[in-house]
Amino acid sequence: MIQSKTQIRVRYGETDQMGFLYYGHYALYYEVARSEMIREAGYPYSEMEKDGTVMPVVKMNIKYLKAAKYDELITVETTMTELHKHPFVTFYHKLYNEQGELINKGEVTLTFYDLKTEKRVPMPERLRNYLTPFFKSSSNGQD
């Protein structure tokens, strides 16, 4: 399992008329946190793109528990619990407000897509190599 935390302050332009984080921006916060997790693992998403692989979202589930408000510092906890051989990866996100209350949770599944062949491909070997040590303690980290 790999886990990371990213903090994001709710900006005025991301809020609705009530001063709450607009519901569509939660997906953006998930993306920021995923990108940071991959960067922390050693293979920034920008490098993956240069290598010809992108990660489009194929499924997303979101549960809104409490509103994030303008100027709050939100902590996004991101977890990846499995390292698969197939071309999908799932990230689990939990958002906490400044009081430490869970305000939102989501699950995002992405696939790996080769820009040259325009087909799904397995996780890039370079990314797998960076992530594998985080999964060594559980079975073999692959299914």
pLDDT tens string, the chain, 143 residues long: the values are 999 999 999 999 999 999 999 999 999 999 999 999 999 999 999 999 999 999 999 999 999 999 999 999 999 999 999 988 789 999 999 999 999 999 999 999 999 999 999 999 999 999 999 999 988 765 444 44
> Please, what sign has the CA dihedral across residues 24, 76, 30, 63?
negative
Q: Supply the pTM of this predicted model.
A: 0.90
Of 119, 134, 81, 94, the residue nearest 6 (C-alpha): 94
Strand, coil or helix: 50: helix
Complete domains list, the chain, with CATH = 2-135 (3.10.129.10)
- Rounded to whole angstroms, how far apart are CA atoms 54 and 111? 8
Catalytic residue check, 143: no
